[in-house]
Structure 1
Amino acid sequence: MKLKDILLKLKEKFLRIDFHAVFERLQSNGKLLLMTVIATFVVMSLACLAVFSVNVKGPEQVLVPDVTGKKLTAALIEMQAKKLYPEIQLRYSETPGDEGTILEQNPSGGAIRKGFSHISLVVSRGVVIDHVENYIGENIDAVRMKLQTLFAGTAKPLIVIASPQYKADTAEAGTILEQDPPEGTSITDPVTVHFVVSRGPNFENTRVPDLLGNSVNDVLQQMARTRLVFDFTSHEAGPGENAGTVVREQTFEEELVPNYTHVAVEFAFPRQTLGGNVYGIFDAVLPAYPYSVQVKLAAKPEDGDAYTIVTFSHPGGAVTIPYAVPKGTDLILSVVSSAGETERKRITVR
């Protein structure tokens, strides 16, 4: 065999053996690489699962401290130590001197919550008013309404008005003349305020008007202009009497009489409706007032808008008012003050 042929055979054999080894080596390394990739994936999955578990578990649970009654600064320090977030709400309180104190909390002390939870704290912004104001010169009804509004919703108002003492004065009736304690008095506990209130001038007298022959409307106008208490009565008009007018009136020896003197006045009313109106006397009993109040009689027809029949001053007690209105009209008696109108009686004319 020639040398050339021998070399060719050796080369051919060498190459065949070498390629086979290389293939086996590659096959062995591929399995190792695959195992490495699988192992890496498993490790990463376990790591992700551990991180996820930690995040799901969240922060550890803590005991909510009871900070009710404590000052805000101390309460915030306790909340911070427990890794809790306070949410602050401000509210007026009823106790002088407790400004900045925790009034309420939610959840309450002793509850279990996760760290970084939100805790609601209601903090006192102090009392609505901390001193007695000057009420002299104001109307007592207006002051009452003001204080009621100021302390609305509180179980223990800080200012209470005692039963006023009334006296005659040139100031308008209901005006506060004196007060005790004086303006500027500090409020540390609920305070009872005593007022001296004007009854109005007691030296003024009134001229008694001549009402004989007057109609109901004429008499109503006189009621609005004078400070007298008219006690109205009526009877069915007889022969020679003008139906719907005054036929008798009390007389006095003196031309002038003291304010709110009672004057008896009698009407002769028609038996049936006259001019589409029903005639009558509206009567009611009011509380006895220390000074005169404004009294109003209003009418609300079945069809139409309400209107005022008369407004006049009255000291309280029995009230009588003549009327001439259509059948079915509602008559409403109210007492008018600076605080508004208070309905006292309502009837429907039949």
Structure 2
Amino acid sequence: MGFRDRVKFHIDFGSIEGYVGNHLRFFISLAIGLIVFVGIIALAVFFVAVRGAEQTMVPDVRNMELTEALLELQVKELYPRLQLRFSHAASDRGRVLEQNPEAGTIVKAGRRIRLVVSQGVVINNVENYVGRNIDEVRMDLQALFTTAVPLFSLKEPFMYQFSPEVPGTILQQSPEPGTTISGPTVLELVISRGLEREMIKIPGLTGLTIGESLDLIGKSGVRFSFSERPPRTGEKPETVLSQTPAAGTVTEADTELSLVVSSPAVLNEGEVFDIFSYTLPVNPYPLSVSLEAMLPSGERRPLITVNHPGGKFTVPYRLPAGSILILSMLNRELYREEISLPIDRI
């Protein structure tokens, strides 16, 4: 190889060596950069993972129904740990009695909150029901036992006897108060139906407006029935035209007072005048019955509240079409009816 050839080879070899070195440094720098980048990402993920949960305030859920309490905790991202126990009042059943941590405590989201929930009351002996009203006792037992096989059941029909005690008052019971309960028990009750021949004085309603007569009937508690006819010459519309028995008559409490009322002379557009009629369950003594109207506007208008023994129940009304009549006994709805215009007025 000549001198020129050796010089040329040396120059070419040096160029190749420089080219390879530059690329090797580039790849090393790239690898280091990737390692640093991955390290930064790993640190970020680590700190996000170990960062504490957000803090929240524990709400006050005591005395709430369990479902309502669970919703409150869910809003705060807290979780319940339930504990059941008996309490002293039947009305506590299903309510939160205690909580831990206390309301207002600042905790991390996801914390478990211990809730003590009432199972109701535990009964070992028969209570004394004598002197109490049968309807109150019935509602208490229904609230106390919601299972398919209640601890107590009432033997019906009840035994009734005349007594000076208020009608509906429990006079006797079996088993006796204090009897130890060993399983499902049937209660036999003797209930007052009031005086054998209670007498009342018939109030004077003739000449009163329909509203005034309904108000007076509600106060006197007399048994009643309504019928209507158009007013004649000299008669006022929407008033009581006649009554039987006459005012001042002393008669037995279950005597029916028959009333004839006059219909309106003119009705406003969209109004209806009629007599509501419904046959109530017959009771051995009068129970509280009420009739109210829910107007199309949503307003509720009471028409009458009276103690009624049952049977036919009639009440005149003048109301806008679309109103709903709601009949209740002992504050429990029995029946509702929507008022509509007669076909000849549509």
TM-score normalised by L of structure 1: 0.59
Q: How far did 1:170 drift?
A: 2.2
Match of 2:253 in 1: 259
Q: 1:298 to 1:90 in 2, by over 3 A?
A: closer
Q: How far did 1:254 drift?
A: 7.7
Q: 1:253 to 1:273 in 2, by over 3 A?
A: closer
* Separation in structure 1 between the aligned mates of residue 251 and residue 245 of structure 2, nearest angstrom: 11
* Separation in structure 1 between the aligned mates of residue 83 and residue 321 of structure 2, nearest angstrom: 58
Which of 141, 153, 159 does residue 160 from structure 1 map onto? 153
Q: How far did 1:291 drift?
A: 1.0
Match of 1:237 in 2: 231
- 1:301 and 2:301 matched: no
Q: How far did 1:285 drift?
A: 0.6
Match of 1:196 in 2: 190
On the 8 A contact 1:128/1:150 being kept in 2, the answer is: no
Which of 200, 203, 209 does residue 203 from structure 2 map onto? 209
Q: How far did 1:276 drift?
A: 8.2
| SS in structure 2 at match of 1:320 | strand
On the 8 A contact 2:292/2:301 being kept in 1, the answer is: yes
Match of 2:177 in 1: 183
| SS in structure 2 at match of 1:144 | helix
Which of 118, 124, 139 does residue 133 from structure 2 map onto? 139
On the 8 A contact 1:167/1:199 being kept in 2, the answer is: yes
On the 8 A contact 2:204/2:247 being kept in 1, the answer is: no
Aligned-partner residue type, residue 220 of structure 2? T
- Which structure 2 segments of 5+ residues have no match? 1-81, 87-118, 342-346
Match of 2:123 in 1: 129
- 1:324 and 2:318 matched: yes
Aligned-partner residue type, residue 296 of structure 1? S
Aligned-partner residue type, residue 251 of structure 2? V
Match of 2:13 in 1: none
Match of 1:33 in 2: none
- Which structure 1 segments of 5+ residues have no match? 1-87, 93-124
Aligned-partner residue type, residue 343 of structure 1? L
On the 8 A contact 1:331/1:349 being kept in 2, the answer is: no
Q: Which structure has the bigger radius of gyration?
A: 1
Match of 1:347 in 2: 338
Count of paired positions: 228
| SS in structure 2 at match of 1:196 | strand
Q: How far did 1:168 drift?
A: 2.0
Q: How far did 1:333 drift?
A: 1.1
Q: How far did 1:174 drift?
A: 1.3
* Separation in structure 2 between the aligned mates of residue 254 and residue 298 of structure 1, nearest angstrom: 29
Match of 1:31 in 2: none
* Separation in structure 2 between the aligned mates of residue 335 and residue 187 of structure 1, nearest angstrom: 33
Q: How far did 1:204 drift?
A: 3.2
Q: 1:239 to 1:274 in 2, by over 3 A?
A: farther
* Separation in structure 2 between the aligned mates of residue 197 and residue 301 of structure 1, nearest angstrom: 39
Q: How far did 1:304 drift?
A: 4.7
Which of 255, 276, 283 does residue 277 from structure 2 map onto? 283
On the 8 A contact 2:206/2:243 being kept in 1, the answer is: yes
Q: How far did 1:253 drift?
A: 10
On the 8 A contact 1:260/1:314 being kept in 2, the answer is: no
* Separation in structure 2 between the aligned mates of residue 245 and residue 275 of structure 1, nearest angstrom: 21
Q: 1:185 to 1:213 in 2, by over 3 A?
A: same
| SS in structure 1 at match of 2:143 | helix
* Separation in structure 2 between the aligned mates of residue 253 and residue 218 of structure 1, nearest angstrom: 15
- 1:334 and 2:325 matched: no
Aligned-partner residue type, residue 257 of structure 2? V
Q: How far did 1:275 drift?
A: 9.9
